[in-house]
Structure 1
Amino acid sequence: MAQVLEFRLPDLGEGLTEAEIVHWLVEVGDVVAVDQPVVEVETAKAMVEVPCPYGGVVTARFGEEGTELPVGAPLLTVAVGPDPSDGEPEGSGNVLVGYGTGAPSARRRRVRPTPGGTAAHGVATHEDAASGPAGTQPGLAVANGAAAPAPVAPGAPQGADGPAGAPARGTARPAEGPVPVISPLVRRLARDNGVDLRQLTGSGPDGLILRADVEQALRAAAPAAAPPASAARPAPAQATTTTTRIPLKGVRGAVADKLSRSRREIPDATCWVDADATGLLAARTAMNTAGGPKISLLALLARICTAALARYPELNSTVDTEAREIVRLDRVHLGFAAQTERGLVVPVVRDAHERDAEGLTAEFARLTEAARAGTLTPAELTGGTFTLNNYGVFGVDGSTPIINHPEAAMLGVGRIAARPWVHQGELAVRQVVQLSLTFDHRVCDGGIAGGFLRHVADCVEQPAVLLRTL
């Protein structure tokens, strides 16, 4: 006999305690293989696909798309074949953090309706797989150990015993869990035509819903009488105010929490300078015409940042508020702001100070693509020591960015635009960029911050200055 196993949301690491269901990859009734991804979830760090360690038929899903579930909550149940060894089924062995492969302790069983109006078998709860809650009233569907009224479709034709095509009173289906359907094609027919399978009484064995049952429900709903003209007349229009509430959760919620904490804890200050970037653009053009992989402008700016941090290490640090100490770091893990459909994320280039322009270009491209696809790992989104924010891609000249807590500084780069500029004593049209540095005033004063920003500007105006650090 097949066993129904419950698969729960696994521990996704990095101390994450919940995840939002973004997209189900399987339907109830689908056959899944071991380690097949079954759902796409979004955590505060990234969006990941969760594989199921069991192979079999999906009998139930728990949570609609957009629902937020805690770690350990049921995701789905799978009916697997009998175990030849007459023991507990084994998992795949391929696990996420805290992702157990043994059979779960809780199982669910389908409610079998009986003519007497009560269920022959109760729905199994997580604590007791054989008994339902005490005091459940007849005529109510039992789901997860709680009683809920059987659903009634609005506007459905009513008869002496309730809605047309609906089960008789006292034989309602559970509000959650699998609905016995003879095939996925019948389930799809119902879904495409808006038929609620839970409101049908199956004519097959043990209440199994057949194609004829769905077609009969469609025929019964077709001749529904139109409402009288007086009832169909719309009410007078009234001026109303429409509001939209967008929950702060997932990646957007994590960013909001971090920015709020930065504002609360960090006494930041900002300084800025205009720089002539004509020489930097000319240097990049010369590099890319000499052959080899193309060098991005962001990679050159990152190389300038690492050189400036080597000269002013105070800005590559963090503050331990409990110990009241400044922690100066000896490695540069460079974060960069990336805009995605799910909000702002900050991927981190590890050991950026050890990479050349080609290596930085390749890593920026890889992380940017992963950010847009939503496949960044938690490790690729944490551990930064300094952030580079190229907001010039949005067509703006300047900004005062919020420091990426718990870092000590962020360099902002505006758009590079043609402007009048005094060059070698004469007025000329040059490619000018505004650079801004927001820094934690606890780790340094304006002299250090100004020196850092001036060194960056000098390297932008005269890239040969970088030769001192090579």
Structure 2
Amino acid sequence: MSPAITALPRQRRHTLHFLASVRAASPVHLDAEVDVTELMAHRASAERPASVLTYVVHAAGRVMARHPDANSGIGGLIRHRVARYPFVDVKLTLDRELGGTRVVLSAVLQDADRASRSFLQHRITRLAGANPARLPDFAGARALQRVPFPLGRLVFLAAGRLSGRHRHLGTVAVTSLGHRRVGRFFSSGGTAITIGVGRVEQRAVVRDGGIVARPVLPLSLTFDHRVLDGALAADVLDDLVETLRNTPEPSDAAR
């Protein structure tokens, strides 16, 4: 029996354009685990609990603002330039279905370093639940499906220019596969730092000389070695772990 060979679905064109744009990156991977006992207790006590992913996005906004050299982008083929952004825009990837094809779509949560958890949760719920064929956040991906492939490549490159890249691709990326039995995974999101979120599971940990069961969140951090080195990336990951491990600050109702 011969295989069924068809054209690549148009719905995946934006992914191919993205992958072509990140080939120049030099990704290096780190990982860590977070004891999220206090975080899960905070969720349980909340009137409207946020998702674990929202806690990570909220923490990432604060952490990246504390490490401005990591909250950067690089551009140029011969004469490289670096942009250090005074705000944190989080690129969030989502598993959605568009035109009958399962695809990864991304949206940028602007000014995540100043947004409350409740505001971020509202945005993420909308992105995950509303019809992706109508959401303006995914208009760019839909446009890339309609135009000829070579033109789409040029359009994507134009959107990735250093001065305005943050509004299209973010200054840091957060991606999650925690809805499945995935411990760790490593992804390059087209930003200087990409944070991967795994699944919270009960693990045996040592506390005060004894072994106890605690909820543990696996995290990965992929950094572009062209922009920063391992020591700074390790500082960012350590800061993120501590921010998530400690009792979260109260979530304000307003932005």
- The TM-score, its normalising length taken from structure 1, stands at 0.44
* Residue 391 of structure 1: aligned partner: 177
Q: Which residue is 2:90 aligned to?
A: 334
CA drift of 1:426 comes to: 1.3
Distance in 1 of aligned mates of 2:85 and 2:104: 25
Flag the structure with larger Rg. Answer: 1
Preserved contact between residue 96 and residue 128 of structure 2 (Cα < 8 Å): no
What amino acid is aligned across from residue 81 of structure 2 in structure 1? E
* Aligned pair partner of 1:463 in 247, 250, 255: 247
- For 1:240-259, list aligned pairs within 5 A: 240=1, 242-259=2-19
Aligned structure 1 segments of 4 or more residues deviating by more than 4 angstroms:
378-381
Q: 1:246: how far off?
A: 4.2
Q: Which deviations, in whole Å up to 9, do the C-alpha atoms of 1:376-395 show, x marking residues without a partner? A: 32567634221111111122
The two structures, once aligned, show a CA RMSD in angstroms of 2.0
Residue 249 of structure 1 and its aligned partner are, at CA, apart by: 4.4
**Structure 1 residues 311 and 380: alpha-carbon distance in aligned structure 2, compared to 1, 3 A threshold:** farther
Greater RCO (Cα-Cα under 8 Å, separation 6 or more):
2
2:111 equivalent to 1:325: no
Partner of residue 108, structure 1: none
Q: What is the match of residue 204 of structure 1? A: none
Instruction: Please say if residues 303 and 356 of structure 1, whose CA atoms lie closer than 8 Å, have aligned partners that are also in contact.
Output: yes
Look up the match of 1:354.
Answer: 114
Residue equivalent to 1:272: 31
In 2, Cα distance between equivalents of 1:375 and 1:250: 17
- The residue correspondences of 1:3-402 to structure 2 (distance < 5 A) are 240=1, 242-262=2-22, 264-286=23-45, 288=46, 291=47, 293-322=48-77, 323-341=79-97, 342=101, 343-370=103-130, 372-377=131-136, 378=138, 382-401=168-187
Tell me what 2:237 maps to.
Answer: 453
Query: SS at 1:332's partner residue?
Result: coil
SS in 2 for 1:347: strand
**Counterpart of 2:216 in 1: which secondary structure?**
strand
Alignment gaps of 5+ in structure 1 = 1-239
Write 1 or 2 for the structure with the bigger share of helix: 2
Distance in 1, matches of 2:43 and 2:25, equals 36
The residue number in structure 2 matching 1:218 is none
| AA of the residue aligned to 2:241 | A
Question: Aligned letter for 1:271?
Answer: L
Q: State the alpha-carbon separation in 1 of the partners of residues 38 and 238 from structure 2.
A: 16
1:261 CA displacement: 3.0
Asked if the contact 1:347–1:380 (Cα under 8 Å) also holds between the matched residues in 2, the reply is: no
| Cα distance, 1:379–1:350 mapped onto 2, change above 3 Å | farther
CA shift for structure 1 position 324: 0.8
Choose which of 228, 242, 247 in structure 2 pairs with 1:444: 228
Distance 1:281 1:325 in 2: 41
- Total equivalences in the alignment: 218
Secondary structure at 1:431 match in 2: strand
Cα shift at 1:265: 0.5
CA contact (8 A) 1:336 1:347 kept: yes
Letter in 2 for 1:308: V
Letter in 2 for 1:414: G
Q: Is the 8 A contact 1:417 1:431 kept in 2?
A: yes
Distance in 2, matches of 1:384 and 1:416, equals 26
